[in-house]
Amino acid sequence: DAGITQSPRHKVTETGTPVTLRCHQTENHRYMYWYRQDPGHGLRLIHYSYGVKDTDKGEVSDGYSVSRSKTEDFLLTLESATSSQTSVYFCAISEQGTSGRYEQYFGPGTRLTVT
């Protein structure tokens, strides 16, 4: 258990409204990630963070922004939600395993539906 929680776990929102998803971790991990998962695509990286206020874009960052003002919280914002952003969103942290490799661990996910 990597001590990751996500909120809300489910959300239905209307097109054009702003939405913020929260990822919270309790183990002081430096690296945090936001992914979306859609059928047939696997998980795709939206944004990641390598420290407080240090973030960068992933492969599907358009329409999303992130913020990390504290080590434990990584927020994902959809400025104006669209139906194409209906998806399952997973937050992840990475930590160095016994092999020396960085391994990713995921939160429980947020199911977002944009109507």
Partner 1 sequence: RKEVEQDPGPFNVPEGATVAFNCTYSNSASQSFFWYRQDCRKEPKLLMSVYSSGNEDGRFTAQLNRASQYISLLIRDSKLSDSATYLCVVRDGGFKTIFGAGTRLFVKA
Could you say which of 13, 43, 72, 77 contacts partner 1 (CB under 8 A)?
43
> What are residue 59's DSSP bridge partners?
none
Closest separation in Å from C-beta 109 to partner 1 = 5
Closest separation in Å from C-beta 103 to partner 1 = 6
Q: Quick check: 107 binds partner 1 (CB under 8 A)?
A: yes
Q: Single out the residue of 107, 84, 83, 113 nearest to residue 94, CA to CA.
A: 107
Part in contact with partner 1 (CB under 8 A); list of ranges 16-24, 44-52, 66-74, 77-85: 44-52
Instruction: Tell me how far the alpha carbon of residue 45 is from its chain's centroid.
Output: 8
Q: Quick check: 101 binds partner 1 (CB under 8 A)?
A: yes
Q: Quick check: 103 binds partner 1 (CB under 8 A)?
A: yes
Instruction: Tell me how far the alpha carbon of residue 86 is from its chain's centroid.
Output: 14
Q: How many residues lie near partner 1 (CB under 8 A)?
A: 24
The whole-angstrom separation of Cα 71 and Cα 25 is 8
Please say whether the beta carbons of 94 and 107 come within 8 A. no
The pair of three-digit structure tokens given for residue 69, joined into one six-digit string: 């003002």
* 3-class SS of residue 52: coil
Could you say which of 22, 24, 44, 63 contacts partner 1 (CB under 8 A)?
44
Instruction: List residues binding partner 1 (CB under 8 A).
Output: 31, 33, 35, 40-45, 48, 50, 56, 90, 97, 99, 101-109
